[in-house]
Amino acid sequence: MISDVVSKIKALSQEIQPELVKIRRHLHRHPELSFQESNTTAYVVEYLQQAGILVERKYAETGVVGLINLKERADASSLAGIEAPGKVVALRADIDALPIQELNEVPYKSQVKGVMHACGHDLHTAVLLGATFILQRIKNELPGVVKCIFQPGEEKNPGGASILVANGVLENPQVDIIFGLHSDPGLEVGQIGYRYGAMMAQADEFYITIKGKSGHGAAPNLAIDPIPITAEIVLALQKIPSRLTDPLEPVVVTVGKIEGGKTVNVIPDTVLLAGTVRTLCSDLAKKVHRAIEQIVKGITQAYNANYELEYKYGYPVLVNDESATDFLVNCGQAYLGKRNVKEITRPSMGSEDFSYYLQKVKGSFFRLGTGKSEKGAAEYWHSSRYDVDESALSVGAGFMAYLAYCYLNLADSSN
């Protein structure tokens, strides 16, 4: 029985592979920044509607949800309070791009100046569309509902997931379990990566304005120079991971932006610095926040300067549910083979707003192998040369469809 299902889904995934390549390349040519994905949304909606899938768009200005195995309703409001015919599994992909100028010379190179799919979200979207197509083809074998979430704004606080969750994307009908994926150039095509528990970090942001007193560069004693004060603060912030926190608890403090001054002989009034804090514990993030405040206050006071600090708590730690991850691993081994299901031994200090879904329902986030260095697809995320091996499209689409199929049939048989 299982082998028959695997064969059927793999055959369907190979059948749609050329279309998935077409979709992915269109998305790659036409990237859109977070919460600006209007054209991407329209493109996905057209595909869903052509496949006869119910479309729901009420959760955010951009992004869309496709519903498999719910009858067509007259309007979106009629979904309120609906009960699903069985369990409900959600599959999620993110659709936004990054403010990066692409340097790849490929036929599908980004046509939008300064914007690029440098994190694989074009592949994620194509993969989920592929899974949707497959599931729609076998919907008579699904004793439940599949919610396919094409989510905006993963790359920018407050995160599209937080908005969709607040607006009820996991309700009407109520989601029982959710799965999401991310491309991984460190895994070969045909492989997936999984991890139990904490998988990705909490990501916070800080913005500090150092307020001095402007003056002539030849008379620094008559001014309060915010530039050397900023330099001391940048160096002192690096003492937080090395001296102010437990060395066994991962902490990253990175200053990614400094702005100040306009010319060589003028001391400016202010300098702005901004950065990110990454932790695997929300309590530790609060401790780092307090440490930043103490450091900035102490150094500015020593030089008679002032400051403003804005600290923004970002995406929470992504924690995979144990039972959902067990299920993911078992499905992966059945669909891909045991040797192609790899445990991720260490968490990443990168962040993912998929964590907001996991705060509400059980689920698991996994990595999809997209790397083959001989094909030039081994650049790391957020690189201006990031690309993927497109043969991963059918693998991801088939596996996500298989996850949904197995969960709904297993849940049905246990009732």
CA distance 380 to 119: 8
Q: Any idea what DSSP says for residue 341?
A: E
Beta strands in 189-294 (DSSP E): 192-194, 197-200, 202-211, 215-216, 251-260, 266-267, 270-279
Query: Other C-beta atoms within 10 Å of 345: how many?
Result: 7
pTM of structure: 0.92
- Per residue in 10-48, pLDDT (tens digit) is 999 999 999 999 999 999 999 999 999 999 999 999 999
pLDDT at position 380, please? 86
List the one residue out of 361, 33, 323, 49 whose CA is nearest residue 194.
323
Instruction: State the DSSP code for 239.
Output: H
Nearest to 351 by CA among 119, 117, 128: 119
- The angle that helices 322-336 and 2-29 make with each other, rounded to 10 degrees, is 100
**Domain 202-314 fold:** Alpha-Beta Plaits (3.30.70)
CA distance 14 to 24: 15
User: What's the CA gap between 164 and 44, in Å, rounded?
Assistant: 17
The whole-angstrom separation of Cα 386 and Cα 363 is: 28
Q: What is the pLDDT of residue 381?
A: 93
Which tokens belong to 197? 């528990």
| Rounded to 5°, angle at Cα 61 from 403 and 101 | 80
* Gap between the Cα atoms of 157 and 41, Å rounded: 20
3-state secondary structure at position 241: helix
DSSP state of 270: E
Count CB neighbours of 375 within 10 A.
Answer: 14
Task: Burial-class residue 412 by CB neighbours within 10 Å (0-12, 13-18, 19+).
Answer: middle
> For residues 95 and 152, is the Cβ–Cβ distance under 8 A?
yes
The rounded distance, in Å, linking the Cα atoms of 31 and 54 is 25
In tens digits, what is the pLDDT along the chain, a chain of 415 residues?
A: 566 899 999 999 999 999 999 999 999 999 999 999 999 999 999 999 999 999 999 999 999 999 999 764 434 445 555 666 789 999 999 999 999 999 999 999 999 999 999 999 999 999 999 999 999 999 999 999 999 999 999 999 999 999 999 999 999 999 999 999 999 999 999 999 999 999 999 999 999 999 999 999 999 999 999 999 999 999 999 999 999 999 999 999 999 999 999 999 999 999 999 999 999 999 999 999 999 999 999 999 999 999 999 999 999 999 999 999 999 999 999 999 999 999 999 999 999 999 999 999 999 999 999 997 566 556 889 999 999 999 999 999 999 999 999 999 986 555 4
- Give burial (CB, 10 Å; 0-12/13-18/19+) of 267: buried
Report the length, in residues, of the chain: 415
Q: What pLDDT is stored for residue 73 in this prediction?
A: 40
CA distance 26 to 389: 16
The catalytic residue positions are 96, 154
Domain segments of the chain: what residues? 2-200+317-413, 202-314
Query: What pLDDT was estimated at residue 70?
Result: 79
**Predicted pLDDT at 374:** 66
Burial environment of residue 408 by CB neighbours within 10 A (0 to 12, 13 to 18, 19 or more): buried
**pLDDT score for 118:** 97
Tell me the DSSP string of 64-91.
Answer: EEEEESS---SSGGGGTTPPPSSEEEEE
Would you state the pLDDT for residue 76? Answer: 44
Which residue's structure tokens are 């329209």?
42
Structure tokens at 364: 């698991």
Beta bridge partners, 178, equal 90, 363
**Contact call for residues 269 and 214 (beta carbons, < 8 A):** yes
CATH among 3.60.15.10, 1.10.3720.10, 3.40.50.300, 3.40.630.10 for 2-200+317-413: 3.40.630.10
